Amino acid sequence: KTVKALEPHVNVREKTQGSRKLQNNSSHMHGEDHKHGHEHAHQTVDEHKHDDADGHNHGHSHEHGEGDTRKILLRLGGGGILALAGIFLPVEGVVELLIFLAAYLIVGSEVVWQAVKNIIRGQVFDENFLMALATIGAFAIGEYPEGVAVMLFYQIGELFQGLAVNRSRRSITALMDIRPEFAYLKLGNDLKRVSPEEVAIGDVIVVKPGEKVPLDGTILEGSAMMDTSALTGESVPRSAGPGSTVLSGFINRNGVITMQVTQTFGESAVSKILELVQNASSNKAKTENFITKFARAYTPIVVITAVLLAVVPPLMISGATFSDWIYRALVFLVISCPCALVVSIPLGFFGGIGAASRSGILIKGSNYLEALNDVKVVVFDKTGTLTKGQFKVTGIYPSGGKSKDELLQTAAYAESHSNHPIAESIRTAYGEQISKEAISNYNEISGHGIEVSIEGKTVLAGNARLMEREDIAYEVPEQSGTVVHIAVDHQYGGYLVIADEVKEDSQQAIQSLKKLGIRKTVMLTGDASSVAEDVGKQLGVDEVHAELLPQHKVEAIEKLDREKSHREKIIFVGDGINDTPVLARADVGIAMGGLGSDAAI
């Protein structure tokens, strides 16, 4: 009878425990209250209360330290042994009652005492009240073993849930560890250890091997391998040297670096991430909001129904006895315990958001997580999202008797003073030392290209408009990509094709989305149509829209929104820098690699 009475409660509890795998891997921090009644005071490591302003007060802790867990296990063991003694020993009457009463007090005294305290506070209807009422009622009708067993199983369920929350809390504490505790401020030839909050923009700090980078900045001297896993989830360290941007939360694996601070601690990457994860609980899913409202009315209705179940049938049905129906009312109270119902849904989102944060995915709220279930259209930005955002020379096409090596060398010398990514890609492809003494009269022609003297020869490097302006006949390339034409002393020398590299896993990502049931994939870009179409065809994207300005991207999203059904959702995936309006307009915005981007946050 006990097992049958507990089955629904145990089943729901098992579902709650099922989210423990997610919890174990979560490094998720909630600084906000869960309005359904779980106040996760995660800024402190010692507290974890369940309190509810909604009238549904759990009134007990779901976090157990190692000492607490041992105490609970001892109580469960002692109570269980006494209960078994009462069942199997040949005792009756007062002795039997005393054995079961001792077992009950060992296992359930905390629950009864919490119920009494809540009644004094005016918070009557909670799970402690239900458990106390049901088990004391079982004793009142002589069902001693069931009264103890119900409390025993209830406490076992609470223990498992507490362990799940406790493991998650340890992960949250690990996330807090990415917050740097100090910075070495460089003052002349001396170093002063200060709090990161004391460092201002423009200050110079030193980071030693094994230390966390305390603030965002640019490396001035030194080089090191940076462990970025705490922020990005990437397992492979990155190389960083003079001119490289490093973010707070990175760990310096080797080498001493001197860096100039570019953001205050409050605006640093680590502060943004911690704030983002703290505030995740404020954006609740519809399911969570429904459960919160439902719980307010649920417990009083259960108690009233149980009273009616105990009283009405014996008065209305011939042959019905009060003892039978009181027993059924008590069973009803036990199986209607709302804790698992109220905890399970938020706990699932809590675990999911936490597990994602371990992989470098920051989710601003469970409402966005829930919306993913209805996504049928995924829209991508191209540069930096589907492609690496890193240009590479993909073709060298000489003319006028020049060799490929000669054309590449001329282009590299011509672009030697430019910081443009295309110029950098040409110099990288050349790979040789550039003699700056050979270069003179450098002149950048806005919107066209560069004019420069190399060893006395006038070299032009730029787009087709530059060739037309100088009245130089040039070849029209068939390849897609950005084209740099080269002319030497007004004689056409050929062209280079530079293209953004497609990410290795982009095609697989598109295919995986389609397997998951995504109806349409779309790419929006400001690049030329030929380049965009080539990338779209390579990746298998359903629709490609090219040569778009930011406002045109918003219009494209709105058009897609009108074409989809009411229930379907749209995701936009961008780099988080130039795509702020589109990220805001889509149902779910995903910013790739936007750790340092205000738009992404």
Number of domains in the chain: 4
The answer as to whether 597 is a domain residue is: no
Residues 23 and 138 in one domain: yes
What pLDDT is stored for residue 104 in this prediction? 93
- Tell me the mean pLDDT in the region 196-208: 95
Q: Of 10-24, 235-249, 463-477, 566-580, which range is least confident?
A: 10-24
The pLDDT of residue 73 is: 87
CATH number of the domain at 524, please: 3.40.50.1000
pLDDT at 600: 44
pLDDT of residue 56: 41
Instruction: For residues 103-110, give the mean pLDDT.
Output: 92
Alpha-carbon gap, residue 171 to 159, rounded angstroms:
19
The answer to whether residue 243 sits within a structural domain is yes
Residue 600 belongs to a domain? no
Residue 596 lies in a domain: no
Q: What is the pLDDT of residue 232?
A: 59
Percent residues over pLDDT 70 in the chain: 77
Judge whether 599 lies within some domain. Answer: no
Sorted by sequence, the CB contacts under 8 Å of residue 264 that are 6+ apart come out as: 197, 199, 200, 201, 215
pLDDT tens, residue by residue, 236-283 = 678 889 998 898 888 898 889 999 999 999 888 777 766 665 555 555
- Is a pLDDT exceeding 70 seen at residue 500? yes
Q: Is residue 495 located within the same domain as residue 507?
A: no
- How far lies 16's CA from each of 342, 350, 351, in Å? 10, 12, 11
Mean pLDDT rounded to a whole number for the chain: 79
Determine which of 27-36, 252-261, 463-472 has the lowest per-residue pLDDT on average. Answer: 27-36
Pair (241, 321) in one structural domain: no
What is the residue whose two structure tokens read 């000492």? 67
Instruction: Reply yes or no on whether the pLDDT at 534 is more than 80.
Output: yes
The three-class DSSP label of residue 527 is coil
Strand segments (E) across 399-456? 439-445, 449-454
Q: Is the pLDDT of residue 35 over 70?
A: no
pLDDT band at residue 28 using 50, 70 and 90 as cut-offs: very low
pLDDT score of 594 more than 60: no
Helix (H) or strand (E) holding 12: helix 2-18
**Structure-model confidence comparison of residues 595 and 134, the more confident one:** 134
Contact 570, 564 (CB under 8 A): yes
Between 335 and 587, name the one with better pLDDT.
Answer: 587
My answer on whether 81 and 166 are in the same domain is yes
Distances (CA, A) of 118 to 58, 97, 148, 161, 299: 10, 27, 22, 22, 14
Least trusted range by pLDDT, from 127-131, 163-167, 211-215, 374-378:
163-167
pLDDT (mean) for 212-224? 93
* Region 342-363 average pLDDT: 72
Q: Could you list the active site residues?
A: 381
Amino acid at 431: G
Q: Is 346 found in the same domain as 316?
A: yes
Residue 598, domain member (yes or no): no
More confident residue, 251 or 354: 251
CATH number of the structural domain spanning residue 242: 2.70.150.10
Q: Tell me the average pLDDT across 276-295.
A: 62
Q: Which domain holds residue 376?
A: 366-387+502-591
The C-alpha atoms of residue 273 and residue 356 are separated, in whole angstroms, by: 13
In terms of Cβ atoms closer than 10 Å to its own Cβ (0-12, 13-18, 19+), residue 187 is: exposed
**Are 22 and 154 part of one and the same domain?**
yes
Query: Tokens standing for 109?
Result: 């005294």
Which of 5-9, 131-135, 462-466, 548-552 is predicted least confidently?
5-9
Residue 126 has pLDDT above 80, yes or no: no
Domain with 433 in it: what CATH number? 3.40.1110.10
Q: Are residues 43 and 106 in the same domain?
A: yes
Residue 227 predicted with pLDDT over 70: yes
pLDDT tens digit string along 397-411? 999 888 999 999 999
Last residue of a domain, one of 231, 254, 277: 277
The answer to whether residue 49 is domain-embedded is yes
Task: Annotate 30-99 with DSSP letters as a single string.
Answer: --S-BTTTBB--TTSSS--B---TTS----S-----HHHHHHHHHHHHHHHHHHHHHHHS---HHHHHHH
Do 517 and 443 belong together in one domain? no
- Which of 324, 275, 348, 258 lies closest to 22, judged by CA? 348
Q: Residue range 415-435: average pLDDT?
A: 87
Range from 236-240, 286-290, 518-522 that averages highest in pLDDT: 518-522
Q: Which of 277, 312, 330 is the last residue of a domain?
A: 277
pLDDT band at 389 (very low <50, low <70, confident <90, very high): confident
Do 266 and 305 lie in a common domain?
Answer: no
Please report, for residues 290, 347, 436, the alpha-carbon distance to residue 39 in angstroms, rounded to integers and kept in the order given. Answer: 18, 12, 65
Please check whether residue 601 lies inside any domain of the structure.
Answer: no
Among candidate residues 277, 308, 327, the one where a domain is terminated: 277
353 pLDDT more than 80: no
User: What pTM was estimated for this model as a whole?
Assistant: 0.52
Q: Give the SS3 label for residue 374.
A: helix
346's CB contacts (< 8 A; 6+ apart) are: 34, 36, 38, 288, 291, 366
* Residue 486: pLDDT band with limits 50, 70, 90: very high
Note whether 264 and 319 are same-domain residues: no
- Over residues 130-155, mean pLDDT: 84
Do 370 and 382 fall within a single domain? yes
Q: Which pLDDT score, from 0 to 100, does residue 207 have? A: 95
Q: Give the model's pLDDT for residue 198.
A: 94
Tell me, yes or no, whether 334 and 417 share the same domain: no
Alpha-carbon separation of residue 310 from 2, 49, 131 (angstroms): 18, 34, 16
Which of 142-146, 229-233, 512-516 has the highest average model confidence (pLDDT)?
Answer: 512-516
